[in-house]
């Protein structure tokens, strides 16, 4: 499905990013695993991919810093010569009620989720424009569509990602580049593990499919958008949320 393609996945060390990297490698892509701090997680993932006969390298970069985001793209292209797929997955949350939210809490989420995605798209697009081919998939969130209590900063960043996805799709389409977003709902990862049980139970009650999703189920949507089956799809937001928002 992705044989011979090269792909960068930001924040690939754990959770949804890890699942995407594993699935891409299984489908035959050469994957670049971006990480910020946790080298041990990424080393384990590199080994898992290599043991299964896949090709992967790891590159350290804090994507909220433009020089590091640029270096990630440059180093990836140096290694694999092309860049076919970029998945902007790295993200954080710093929840607080609006009236208590500090500027630092607001900025840190915007810096990583929104500006980090912008930096990676900007530098990847320069390579993809020359190639006249590329697929960019940005991980947004259902919270960017519907909002959520205590997540004004996160919702703003993820809604921003959707607007940026649509603008980039319009700018880059004439050169064969598609840009789409995936908006997961509640997915079982370290990010949602931290939620109190009462919040988890209340959330499940709002999901028509009656359960949280898995990281692999999000990866399935990303793999589809990265594949040739999605060549005529651009500027779209694919919700992977068990029907929670419709
Ligand atoms: P996670 O916290 O398990 O993984 C996020 C990864 O991003 C970590 O490996 C972290 O080191 C990396 N990262 C954070 N800041 C970075 C930076 N500045 N530079 C490079 N890497 C950085 O989170 P999870 O749950 O796997 O989420 C992945 C993406 O999916 C995020 O963008 C998140 O907002 C989004 N999402 C998650 C949902 C969920 O229910 N888990 C729901 C909707 C969206």
Q: Map 24-87 to HEC letters.
A: HHHCCCEEEEEECCCHHHHHHHHHHHHHCCCEEEEEECCCCCHHHHHHHHHHHHHHHCCCCEEE
Closest by CA position to 134, among listed 73, 205, 189: 73
Mean pLDDT, range 3-22, rounded to an integer = 97
Percentage of the chain beyond pLDDT 70 is 100
Domain-embedded: residue 34: yes
Find the 208 Cα to ligand 1 centroid distance in Å.
Answer: 24
Mean pLDDT, range 83-95, rounded to an integer = 98
Atom of ligand 1 nearest to the CA of 111: 18
Residue 131 CB burial class (10 angstroms; 0-12, 13-18, ≥19)? middle
Closest by CA position to 35, among listed 17, 16, 54, 56: 17
Domain-embedded: residue 88: yes
Residue 196's pLDDT is 87
Mean pLDDT, range 16-39, rounded to an integer = 97
What's the start-to-end Cα distance of the chain, in Å?
30
Domain-embedded: residue 246: no
Q: Map 125-186 to HEC letters.
A: HHHHHHHCCEEEEEECCCHHHHCCCCEHHHHHHHHHHHHHHHHHHHHHHHHCEEEEEEEECC
Find the 139 Cα to ligand 1 centroid distance in Å.
Answer: 9
- How many domains does the chain fold into? 1
CB atoms within 10 A of CB 42: 25
Find the 136 Cα to ligand 1 centroid distance in Å.
Answer: 17
**72-81 per-position pLDDT tens digit:** 999 999 999 9
Would you say residue 42 has pLDDT above 90? yes
Q: Ligand 1: which residue has its CA nearest to atom 3? A: 15
Rounded Cα distance between 68 and 111, Å, is 13
- Out of 75-84, 187-196, 230-239, least confident range: 187-196
pTM to 2 decimals?
A: 0.98
**50-71 per-position pLDDT tens digit:** 999 999 999 999 999 999 999 9
Domain-embedded: residue 159: yes
Q: Ligand 1: which residue has its CA nearest to atom 18? A: 62
Looking up tokens 């044989």, which residue turns up?
3
Range of the domain at 188: 6-240
Would you say residue 195 has pLDDT above 90? no
CATH number, domain containing residue 100? 3.40.50.720
Domain-embedded: residue 114: yes
Domain-embedded: residue 235: yes
Looking up tokens 């809490």, which residue turns up?
105
Domain-embedded: residue 245: no
Would you say residue 191 has pLDDT above 90? no
Looking up tokens 């990424």, which residue turns up?
42
Q: Which two tokens stand for residue 10?
A: 């930001």
Residue 38's pLDDT is 87
Domain-embedded: residue 1: no
Percentage of the chain beyond pLDDT 90 is 94
């Amino acid at each position: 499905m992705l044989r011979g393609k090269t792909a960068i996945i930001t924040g690939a060390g754990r959770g949804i990013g890890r699942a995407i990297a594993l699935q891409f490698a299984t489908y035959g892509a050469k994957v670049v695993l971006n990480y910020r701090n946790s080298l041990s997680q990424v080393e384990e993932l590199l080994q898992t991919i290599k043991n299964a006969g896949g090709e992967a390298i790891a590159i350290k970069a804090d994507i909220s810093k433009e020089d590091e985001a640029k270096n990630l793209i440059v180093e990836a292209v140096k290694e694999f010569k092309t860049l076919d797929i970029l998945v902007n997955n790295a993200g954080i949350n710093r929840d607080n009620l609006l009236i208590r939210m500090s500027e630092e809490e607001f900025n840190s989420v915007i810096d990583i989720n929104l500006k980090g995605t912008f930096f990676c798209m900007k530098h990847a697009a320069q390579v993809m424009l020359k190639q006249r081919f590329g697929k960019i998939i940005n991980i947004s969130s259902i919270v960017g569509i519907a909002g959520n209590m205590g997540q004004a900063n996160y919702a703003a960043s993820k809604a921003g990602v959707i607007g940026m996805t649509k603008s980039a799709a319009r700018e880059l389409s004439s050169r064969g580049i598609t840009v789409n977003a995936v908006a997961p709902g509640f997915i079982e990862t370290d990010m949602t593990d931290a939620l109190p049980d009462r919040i988890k139970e209340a959330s499940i009650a709002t999901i028509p499919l009656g359960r949280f999703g898995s990281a692999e189920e999000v990866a399935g949507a990303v793999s589809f958008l990265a594949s040739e089956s999605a060549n005529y799809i651009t500027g779209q937001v694919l919700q992977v949320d068990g029907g929670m928002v419709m």
